[in-house]
Amino acid sequence: MNILVTGGAGFIGSAVCRLLARNPANRVVNLDKLTYAGNLASLREIDNLSNYRFAKGDICDDVAVLDLLRAEKIDVVMHLAAESHVDRSIDGPAAFIETNVVGTFRLLNAALAYWRELPSDAQRRFRFHHVSTDEVFGDLPFDSGIFTEETPYAPSSPYSASKAASDHLVRAWHETYGLPVVISNCSNNYGPYHFPEKLIPLVILNALDERPLPVYGNGANVRDWLFVEDHARALELVATKGTPGESYNIGGRAERTNLSVVETICEILDGKRPRRGGARYRDLITFVADRPGHDRRYAIDPSKVERDLGWQRQETFETGLARTIDWYLENSWWWQPIRAERYAGERLGTVKGAA
């Protein structure tokens, strides 16, 4: 297949590109604007492969996107390009509306124009896969409930509202114009190449720097954690085997409180990279004022993607977290420039990016 991955230099997108490009039968085209979270170093292992191409561009430029679809004879669009950090959406929501809503609208228009030009057999094969988040569903009580594909949307932040809007646009382009779309909604991802402002890499790297480990409120908020490489395998299945018009929830069956995630990282680091003087990393945990609209709990039921597409996670939270910590310990070449150039001074020790 010829596959266009938007946002392929981001965390999840780069994992998808690495997975797809390992199959020589695929042609992978990575379209990315290279904003703050885009990093071509995450694609170093596939950069020289003949079946992989990087194209710098903006999904809001529908003319350029249409030209790229035609030139590469794309069979599948996997749309991952998005602004995705809740704290940033609270500070500056305009970029989230522009990329997540307007960008998806323009990408849909380009895909529809391209799809209408295809011969009938190619139209039947074509898929537009929109990758979304469980945050569109709002939050759950601490002690009951789970998100399914039928859960009503109730977004709480500018980020989740922008993703909910994009989900609705994708469904509308299917219902109104017949564009063959599939949608997936995932739980919190973690793993190698995760941008350092996100919770797990932030805690790992702050701990190694002997900086405070900020935790919102009392740390009781619960997230369902999904190892990024497991997610990438699920996305490939949804894009290639999913039924047009359907949505698929992808989760790791690994609910943890934010505080327990931070404490587990501290315990693993105590064994792998002990602090000087015998102090424990958990002594660096610092509770800070909660952020506005902080959802209590996310929990995803992945039964449909397991049943219909045969996906199963390969990593438990414990094995995935250990792999992730080992990766950050062994790959300072990737994260040190980001810390030095983009998050110099005290910024990574502040509330932004807290658990």
β-bridge pairing 188-190 and 255-257: unpaired
Q: Specify whether the CB–CB gap between 105 and 156 falls below 8 A.
A: no
User: Residue 128 is encoded by which pair of tokens?
Assistant: 């537009």
Residues in the chain: 355
Rg (CA), the chain: 20
CA-to-CA distance for 212 and 29, rounded, in angstroms?
40
**Catalytic residue positions?**
134-135, 159
Taking CB atoms within 8 Å and a gap of at least 24, the contacts of 65-68 are: 65/31, 65/106, 65/107, 65/110, 65/111, 66/110, 66/113, 66/114, 68/4, 68/29, 68/31
Residue whose tokens read 């350092």: 196
What are the strands, taking DSSP E only, across the chain? 2-6, 27-32, 52-56, 76-79, 127-133, 181-186, 188-190, 213-216, 222-227, 247-250, 255-257, 285-288
